[in-house]
A and B are shown apart, each in its own frame.
Chain A
Amino acid sequence: MAAPCMSCRGTVSCRLLLWKTAAAELQTNVRSQILGPSHTAAATRKKNVPALKHETYTVDFIKKQIEEFNIGKRHLANMMREDPESFTQEDIDKAIAYLFPSGLFEKEARPIMKHPELIFPKQRAIQWGEDGRPFHYLFYTGKQSYYSLMHDVYGIQRPDWLIKEELEEMLVEKLSDRDYMQFIHLLEKLLTLQYGAAEEEFVQRFRRSVIIQSKKQLIEPMQYDEQGMAFSKSEGKRKTAKAEAIVYEHGSGRIKVNGIDYLHYFPIMRDREQLMFPFHFVDRLGKLDMTCTVSGGGRLAQAGAVRLAMAKALCSFLTEDEVEWIRQAGLLTADPRVRERKKPGQEGARRKFTWKKR
């Protein structure tokens, strides 16, 4: 499928849009000319051995694509009556979605317009000179970047390392699982030793940026009712039970569930313990009042839902440290476990039918 020709006001070139699937077509159209530094002619024309086995692009081709992309971007900005200088990638996406609405289910098959570096895969330049001698001293290992990296790590540890795919992308080399795990092993060992600022920078390259989780926690705002008492509302759920809790700031520790005292609604001690858990953990057992409504689920699921709602509502009355404590105690996470479905060919979710020899 050739790239579609667009004639918008006659000023736009034919290659304004690049379909991602058509990129593959383009590769076959472009002759496999080898990427290389300044020398082109004799040696490379004789033996067209590409650096990689599959399609390659020339540096010139990529440059041309980038120029066309930039020009196209400006045209698009003019079309949409936006300022060409401050036309971001998001604006491009929105404009393309507006101009070419597509009903295709597969998101990757819809028309896109992105910077060529994101579309064409990164490739390695040719690794040897005119005389056939390779540039890197570890070329004959087959994975020169990887082994040189291993050398560096050995020469000089945490869970947020880059994953294998990202590392492959960074080194532009294919890695096996064993290689990757060995590398991570070394990095972890390195972490156990103390290192200075230079090593820190080196290690930083392989780490993903880490977010402080407690910042993500939404704290419910405090509201004030008619008597001037502060309260906060929140929701929680567990399995199929849904609960909504209102925690009042000054009270004597009364808890009402669906209008009934919790002693009568939850006659089992274990459920009541779950309700008291968040208050007890922050030492405010007899100081806060609570009202809640709950529906659905079973006995313990309702108790879990109320516990979650309570903990979330409680957050607005606590300091930041205390919020972090109850988060680490697991009170603010919604339990994702639900009943597993029964599968066909089995008696239950996991249990298989009795095996009969004949």
Chain B
Amino acid sequence: MAAPAVKVSRGWSGLALVVRRAVLQHPGLTQVRWSRYSAEFKDPLIDKEHYRKPVEKLTEEEKYDRELKKTQLIKAAPAANTSSVFEDPVVSKFTNMMMKGGNKILARSLMTQTLEAVKRKQFEKYHAASAEEQATIERNPYTIFHQALRNCEPMIGLVPILRGGRVYQVPISLPDRRRRFLAMKWMITECRENKHRRMLMPEKLSQELLEAFHNQGPVIKRKHDMHKMAEANRALAHYRWW
């Protein structure tokens, strides 16, 4: 599990000033994957509220961080990020995963159509329902989206481990980002494969999201299947060494 994202090779190169944590653990290794920015550049922070905070409310640590930031070089902000209030990191990630062949325009339009469809459906239900039920119906598409993805996240996952020539599926607890990724991935594959030929993606996706929001539907079923398999293989749990 050590340094998965950094490809390393033997030898030492000139960048010694700010050594990445992964490389610190393996002395004598160079990073092979390079970028046009040099190692001193830091990632930009696009959050209006963060900068508008008055000086009195900052803690010592924050003040120090601010002073430090003033001396650091910052990378350029990516084209997908803006300070707009309509932007959501989860939605952006999902859009990127839905994208095929670099066609971001199409993916983004599908996403907006999905959210619109979700909102329409919820409004129809709202108008058709009685007064007490109206209070329980959620109409904000973003909350529905987030909640649906959270409901789809599996708690335990299976990992193939090689032991004595045989591959065993060992149950382990997954880190947060893996869970989020799996939820999104299942949702997208489900919508791509198991739909009627003439049905469009936004419609199908809105359907799936609403079902997942209520803890029903094929994606939730897949999550439960994963849990059951992990439960069945729990005898192999001692194969885990980390």
Residues of A participating in the B interface, judged by any CB pair closer than 8 Å: 158-161, 163-164, 177-178, 180-181, 184-185, 210-214, 268-270, 273-274, 276-277, 280-281, 300, 303-304, 308, 324-325, 327-331, 333-338
Assess whether B51 is interfacial by the CB under 8 Å rule. Answer: yes
A328-B105 in contact (CB<8A): no
Question: What residues of A have a CB within 8 angstroms of the CB of B48 in the complex?
Answer: 281
Q: Is there an interface contact between A303 and B83, defined as CB atoms closer than 8 Å?
A: no
- Is B217 interfacial (CB-CB < 8 Å)? no
Apart from A330-B44, A330-B76, what are 16 other A-B pairs with CB-CB below 8 Å? Answer: A158-B68, A159-B18, A159-B72, A163-B16, A178-B28, A180-B16, A184-B19, A212-B71, A274-B79, A280-B82, A304-B79, A327-B74, A328-B51, A329-B77, A333-B75, A333-B76
Interface residues of B (CB under 8 A from A): 12, 16-19, 24, 27-28, 36-37, 40-41, 43-46, 48, 51, 68-77, 79-80, 82-84, 104-105, 108
Please tell me if the beta carbons of B27 and A210 are within 8 angstroms of each other in the complex.
no
Residue of B nearest to A301 (CB): B79
Interface of A is mostly: helix
Distance of A219 from chain B, by nearest CB (Å): 16
Question: Would A213 and B71 count as touching, CB distance under 8 A?
Answer: yes
Q: Are A270 and B75 in contact (CB under 8 A)?
A: no
21 pairs from A and B in contact (CB 8 Å cutoff): A158-B68, A159-B17, A160-B17, A163-B16, A163-B17, A210-B71, A211-B71, A213-B70, A270-B105, A273-B82, A277-B84, A281-B46, A303-B79, A304-B79, A328-B69, A329-B77, A330-B74, A331-B76, A331-B77, A333-B44, A336-B37
Contacts of A184 in B (CB 8 A): 19
DSSP majority for the B interface? loop
Q: How many A-B residue pairs have CB under 8 A?
A: 98
Point out the residues of chain B lying under 8 angstroms from A324, CB to CB: 70
Inter-chain CA distance A65–B73, complex, in Å, is: 43
Nearest 6 pairs between A and B by C-beta?
A: A330-B44, A330-B77, A335-B76, A333-B76, A336-B36, A325-B51
From known contacts A159-B40, A328-B45, infer whether A333 and B74 are also in contact, taking CB-CB under 8 Å: yes
Residues in chain A near residue B108, CB distance under 8 A: 269-270
Query: Do B83 and A329 touch across chains, with their CB atoms under 8 A apart?
Result: yes
In this complex, the member of A180, A211, A336 whose beta carbon has the largest number of chain B beta carbons within 10 angstroms is A336
B69 — which chain A residues lie within 8 A by C-beta? 328
A213 to B41, CA, bound (A): 12
For the complex formed, measure the closest distance between the CB of B93 and the CB atoms of chain A, giving whole angstroms: 16
The distance in angstroms between the C-alpha atoms of A185 and B19, with both chains bound, is 11
Shortest CB distance A249–B (Å): 22
| Known A177-B28, A181-B27, A325-B51; contact A334-B76, beta-carbon cutoff 8 A | yes
CA distance A328 to B18 in the complex (A): 19
Question: Are B36 and A337 within 8 A (Cβ)?
Answer: yes
In Å, the complex CA distance between A163 and B36 comes to 21
Is A329's CB under 8 angstroms from B44's CB? yes
Flag if B16 contacts A268 (CB, 8 Å).
no
Kindly list chain A residues whose C-beta atoms are within 8 Å of the C-beta of B104. 270
Residues from chain A with a CB closer than 8 A to the CB of B24 are: 181, 185
Which residue, B18, B43, B79, B80, has most C-beta atoms of chain A within 10 A?
B79
B19: chain A residues within 8 A (beta carbon): 181, 184
A330 CA to B43 CA in the complex, in Å?
8
Q: Which listed residue (A210, A280, A328) contacts B84, Cβ 8 A?
A: A280
Whole-angstrom distance between the Cβ of A328 and the nearest chain B Cβ: 6
B43 CB contacts on chain A under 8 angstroms: 330
- Indicate if the CB atoms of A213 and B46 lie closer than 8 Å: no
Closest Cβ neighbor of B73 among chain A residues: A213
Residue from B44, B72, B73, B83 having most chain A Cβ neighbours under 10 A? B83
